[in-house]
Amino acid sequence: MTVREPAGRQSSQQVVLEVNDLKTTFNTRDGQVHAVNNVSFSLSTGELLGVVGESGSGKSVTMMSLLKLLPSPPAEVVADSILYEGRDVLSMGDEELRELRGGGIGFIFQDPMTSLNPVFTVGYQLTEAIRQHLPISKKEARARAAELLAKVGIAQPVERLRDFPHQFSGGMRQRVMIAMSLACEPKVLIADEPTTALDVTIQAQILELVRDLRRDQGMGIIWITHDLGVVAGIADRVIVMYGGQIVEHAPVKELFNNPQHPYTKALLATMPSIDASRSERLYSIEGQPPSLSGAPTRCSFAPRCEYAFDRCLEENPPIVSMDNNHQAACWLRHPQYTAQGSQHPPEEISLRETF
Amino acid sequence: MFNYTIRRLLFAIPTLFVISFLIFAILDLAPNDPTGNLPLTIPPEVRENIRISLGLGEPFPIRYLKWCQQFFINEPLNLIEQWFDISIGDSENRLRVQSWATRSPVVDLIVERLPQTLWVLGLSYVIGILIAIPIGVISAYKQYSIFDQIGTFISMVGFSVPTFFTGLVCIVFFSSTLGWFPSIYDTTHEVTDLASFWFQVKQMIMPVMVLALFNASQLSRFMRASMLDNLSQDYVRTARAKGLKERSVLLIHVLRNSLIPVVTVIALGLPQIFAGAIITEQIFRVNGLGQLLIIGIQGADIPLVQTLTFIFAVLIVLFNLIADILYGMLDPRIRYE
Ligand SMILES: Nc1ncnc2c1ncn2[C@@H]1O[C@H](COP(=O)(O)OP(=O)(O)O)[C@@H](O)[C@H]1O
Ligand code: SF4
Ligand SMILES: [Mg+2]
């Protein structure tokens, strides 16, 4: 299947990252885990791609697969191609891959508390990242490290270089992680729930920083989050993941105004709105997250979907493109049921009690 | 850290006094008679006189205090005098802890035996560490590989089979059958030229290697487990995501963290190897501290046994402290106040 070019792209933008049909499987003692299935997307310079989905939907695994950061075994990554500036990551040699990690693609990990090495100073860990990719002296690297800390809003950056990670608060550590991932001005930044651990004001500061980076350096950014509010504020395009698959993919306005997949609709319904009265209870999606023990043979959202019908249980819906650069993987949106003169989608039936 | 060390040292003093008292009391309760080995023709009055001359006529508390004075004041003074070649006070008549069997000062006996023990034990410990760390690192990095499986098996065997058995097997095989190495360690041997050096190497190989392999099999297991713990940590992924070489990730980031508990175990284990020496020295006839202790026990030489046991206790207390301090130095998260 092909991925349509997203909307609103100016001619100066070019695709830096293109993922075609990515599959990641874990071979564990308790059997296989199909964590990522048939994921395809692309990212252009200066673009911010939001990725949302509940915990366990495969967001982190997808992104780590791109840089081959998952230890193998147990992980096994296959794809038609993972292209960074036209070069296939999967066929890269060690040297080229290391150049890509940190040099071409920066990564901010989910948990700032454990992502820094506890026994080395922050200065050491930053300069190490810088000197890995830039041919500069230790002294210059330290100066640059201090500069980076200042950039992410850490006071007294020169002094703080001597501190160990445990001397920083969670928010401060995440800033250090961000500084580290920006050390070599990568063309792509992957941020895995970077602001989850932070309070709102710091979150806002970091979002501001990210906005500047996009504008000034034309950095392409993948922003993973489960906060739809953040996505609405900063993303150009949004990918919605469920059960290791992309179930909906659309420009941000289009997604919020015109969601096509029942899961996205449910997600949007869980968003607290400002005008909602306090007594109004948050809508939450009922049911269990899907099992990932096999390749999908039916719609993985079917057990929790209020619109599910018989086809949903027989076959996994392919992702199909619609107007306005909108894609969704749902039988209700499939041309077989939506095209003129096609069979009408059957009556909605509730299958919940059958599971 | 400095204050912490001082405080711990001060705490060690009462601990050691209690230990010394317990050792003294237990050995005093043990049924023994320093004249028991003398010929039966010696009349009881003479035996009694011998006992009194050995200081056994006095009540228990007095004897304990006298021992304390001899061990904690007189012996250190004596050592200082020897080192700096000076004399402090009345050094001629100062009473020292005397061995009942040989009538020479216990500390002199120990100083005489110490080098052999330190050479064999120290070398075996160092070699053990040098073997264990690379094996542990590779085993963890290549978990479940052939190397790891063989390593696990050998260290299981090495750890389960006691050194007195492996030692005897080695003697039977390498000394009796093949005749490569001497089966008795010649303590009086002096290294003067290449040939005598080669002889020294040959006589040390078996005791050193038997102990070294035993230590290594324990330590390599520990090293492997510690490496595995750290390999699955998030910071390893961060290091890889920075684009570091796999070698740097492993030997800088993971190893540095994994060594923290291993170094502690190495420090804690040092006094234990003296205990191990008691057996190994007996088998290979190394004339060291372990053998001195055995002779002392067999001859009911209470002052000798008391002093040696107490020195072992001091080592244990000391290396516990050293382990704690090393931990604090290696792990920046630990702050001793
Ligand atoms: N090392 C692993 N072994 C087995 N399963 C894994 C492993 N890592 C992740 N998974 C599974 O992959 C799925 C996706 O995880 P993840 O990408 O972390 O989700 P999230 O969307 O919250 O980031 C989860 O069901 C998780 O259990
Ligand atoms: S394919 Fe069927 S079950 Fe899946 S989301 Fe669409 S309607 Fe629901
Ligand atoms: Mg995640």
Q: Mean pLDDT lowest for which of A147-151, B83-87, B133-137, B160-164?
A: B83-87
Q: Does A75 touch chain B (CB under 8 A)?
A: no
pLDDT at A274: 54
How far apart are the CA of B327 and the nearest CA of chain A, in angstroms?
12
Question: Count H helices, E strands: chain A?
Answer: 12, 13
**A136: which DSSP letter?**
-
pLDDT at A249: 94
Average pLDDT of chain B to the nearest whole number: 86
Mean pLDDT value across residues B11-34? 85
**Residue A4 — pLDDT band, cuts 50, 70, 90?**
very low
Return left, alpha or beta for A58; rule: phi > 0 is left, psi -120 to 50 is alpha, else beta: left
Question: Count H helices, E strands: chain B?
Answer: 14, 0
Tokens of A275: 């005008």
Q: Is residue B240 part of a domain?
A: yes
Q: Is residue B126 part of a domain?
A: yes
Mean pLDDT value across residues A197-220? 80
Which of A102, A115, A118 comes nearest B243 by C-beta? A102
Mutate to test the interface with A, among B144, B232, B233, B242 (most CBs of A within 10 A): B242
Alpha-carbon distance of B108 to A115, in angstroms, equals: 56
**Ligand 1 nearest atom to the CA of residue A24, by list position:** 12
- Summarised one tens digit per residue, pLDDT across range B74-122 is 888 888 888 887 777 766 667 777 777 777 888 888 888 888 888 888 8
- Domain with B146 in it: 113-330
ipTM: 0.85
How far apart are the CA of A118 and the nearest CA of chain B, in angstroms?
7
Alpha-carbon distance of A7 to B45, in angstroms, equals: 115
pLDDT at A351: 44
- Å from CA of B240 to ligand 3 middle: 18
**Ligand 1 nearest atom to the CA of residue A289, by list position:** 25
Q: Does A84 touch chain B (CB under 8 A)?
A: no
Tokens of A67: 């840089």
Mean pLDDT value across residues B177-192? 81
How far apart are the CA of A143 and the nearest CA of chain B, in angstroms?
19
- Summarised one tens digit per residue, pLDDT across range A128-158 is 999 989 899 999 999 999 999 998 888 899 9
CATH number for B188? 1.10.3720.10
* DSSP state letters, A81-104: EEEETTEEGGG--HHHHHHIIIII
Mean pLDDT value across residues B167-186? 86
Q: Is residue B7 part of a domain?
A: no
Q: Is residue B174 part of a domain?
A: yes
**Residue A10 — pLDDT band, cuts 50, 70, 90?**
very low
pLDDT at A353: 40
Peptide bond into A74 cis (omega under 30): yes
CB A219 within 8 A of CB A45: yes
Q: Does B241 touch chain A (CB under 8 A)?
A: yes
Tokens 């006691």 sit on residue:
B162
Average pLDDT of chain A to the nearest whole number: 84
pLDDT at A355: 39
Pocket lining for ligand 2, CB < 6 angstroms = A 261-262, 299, 301-302, 305, 307-308, 312, 317, 330-332
How far apart are the CA of B331 and the nearest CA of chain A, in angstroms?
6
Which chain A residues contact residue B242 at CB under 8 A?
101-102, 128-129, 132, 180
- List strand residue ranges (DSSP E) for B132-181, in order: none
Alpha-carbon distance of A288 to A54, in angstroms, equals: 11
Which ligand is the nearest neighbour of the Cα of A309? 2
pTM of the model: 0.83
Pocket lining for ligand 1, CB < 6 angstroms = A 26, 28, 33, 35, 53, 55-61, 74, 292
Alpha-carbon distance of B215 to B221, in angstroms, equals: 10
Provide φ and ψ at B38, rounded to 5°.
-80, 155
**Ligand 2 nearest atom to the CA of residue A299, by list position:** 4
Which chain A residues contact residue B148 at CB under 8 A?
none
User: In percent, how much of chain B has pLDDT > 70?
Assistant: 96
Chain B residue nearest residue A164, CA to CA: B332
Which chain A residues contact residue B245 at CB under 8 A?
98
Q: Does A129 touch chain B (CB under 8 A)?
A: yes
Provide φ and ψ at A27, rounded to 5°.
-95, 95
- Summarised one tens digit per residue, pLDDT across range B297-328 is 888 788 888 888 998 899 999 999 999 888 88
Which of A98, A99, A109 comes nearest B234 by C-beta? A109
A26-29 contacts, C-beta under 8 A, 24 or more apart? A26/A74, A26/A75, A26/A76, A27/A73, A27/A74, A27/A76, A28/A74
Q: Which residues share a beta bridge with A82?
A: A19
Tokens of A183: 């050390």
Q: Mean pLDDT lowest for which of A112-121, A278-287, B116-125, B220-229?
A: A278-287
Is the pLDDT assigned to residue A335 strictly greater than 60?
yes
Which ligand is the nearest neighbour of the Cα of A53? 1
Which ligand is the nearest neighbour of the Cα of A111? 3
Q: Is residue B41 part of a domain?
A: no
Sorted by sequence, the CB contacts under 8 Å of residue B216 that are 6+ apart come out as B127, B128, B129, B131, B132, B135, B155, B158
Highest mean pLDDT among A179-188, B6-15, B204-213, B225-234: B225-234
Tokens 């890889």 sit on residue:
B240
In degrees, rounded to 5, the angle at the alpha carbon of residue B176 between the alpha carbons of residues B171 and B179 is 100
**Residue A123 — pLDDT band, cuts 50, 70, 90?**
very high
* DSSP state letters, B294-333: HHHHHTT-HHHHHHHHHHHHHHHHHHHHHHHHHHHHH-TT
Q: Mean pLDDT lowest for which of A139-143, A166-170, B44-48, B161-165?
A: B44-48
- List strand residue ranges (DSSP E) for chain A, in order: 15-28, 31-44, 48-52, 75-78, 81-84, 87-88, 105-108, 188-192, 220-224, 237-242, 245-251, 320-322, 326-328
Please choose, from the candidates B270, B258, B269, the residue with its C-alpha nearest in 3D space to the C-alpha of residue B330: B258
Q: Are strands A237-242 and A220-224 parallel, antiparallel or unpaired?
A: unpaired
Mean pLDDT value across residues A320-345? 77
Q: Does B323 touch chain A (CB under 8 A)?
A: no
pLDDT at B95: 75
- Summarised one tens digit per residue, pLDDT across range B32-43 is 676 766 777 777
Q: Is residue B23 part of a domain?
A: no
**Residue A115 — pLDDT band, cuts 50, 70, 90?**
very high
- Summarised one tens digit per residue, pLDDT across range A229-250 is 888 888 899 999 999 999 999 9
Q: Which residues share a beta bridge with A31?
A: A28
Is the pLDDT assigned to residue A287 strictly greater than 80?
no
Tokens 């297991």 sit on residue:
B221
Q: Domain count for chain B, please give it.
A: 1
- Which residue has better confidence, B75 or A85? A85
Is the pLDDT assigned to residue A6 strictly greater than 70?
no
pLDDT at A314: 85
Mutate to test the interface with A, among B141, B142, B234, B238 (most CBs of A within 10 A): B238
Which chain B residues contact residue A101 at CB under 8 A?
240-243
Total length of chain A: 355
**Ligand 2 nearest atom to the CA of residue A333, by list position:** 6
Provide φ and ψ at A32, rounded to 5°.
-85, 150
Tokens of B27: 């050995």
A-B Cβ pairs (cutoff 8 Å, strict): 70
- Summarised one tens digit per residue, pLDDT across range B113-125 is 888 888 888 899 9
pLDDT at A65: 94
Which chain A residues contact residue B240 at CB under 8 A?
69, 101
Which chain A residues contact residue B145 at CB under 8 A?
none
Q: Does B142 touch chain A (CB under 8 A)?
A: no
How far from the centroid of its chain's Cα atoms is residue B201's Cα? 21
Q: Does B253 touch chain A (CB under 8 A)?
A: yes
Chain A residue nearest residue B143, CA to CA: A73
Please choose, from the candidates A73, A105, A236, A122, the residue with its C-alpha nearest in 3D space to the C-alpha of residue A181: A105
Q: Does A120 touch chain B (CB under 8 A)?
A: yes
Q: Is residue B268 part of a domain?
A: yes
* DSSP state letters, B175-216: IIIS--S-SS--TT----SHHHHHHHHHHHHHHHHHHHHHHH
Q: Are strands A75-78 and A15-28 parallel, antiparallel or unpaired?
A: antiparallel
Q: Does B335 touch chain A (CB under 8 A)?
A: no
Tokens of B78: 């004596």
CB B267 within 8 A of CB B329: no
Mean pLDDT value across residues A295-310? 85
Collapsed DSSP state (helix, strand, coil) of residue B98:
strand
Total length of chain B: 337
**Residue A227 — pLDDT band, cuts 50, 70, 90?**
confident
Sorted by sequence, the CB contacts under 8 Å of residue B177 that are 6+ apart come out as none
The 10 Å Cβ neighbour count of residue B92 is 6
Q: Is residue B307 part of a domain?
A: yes
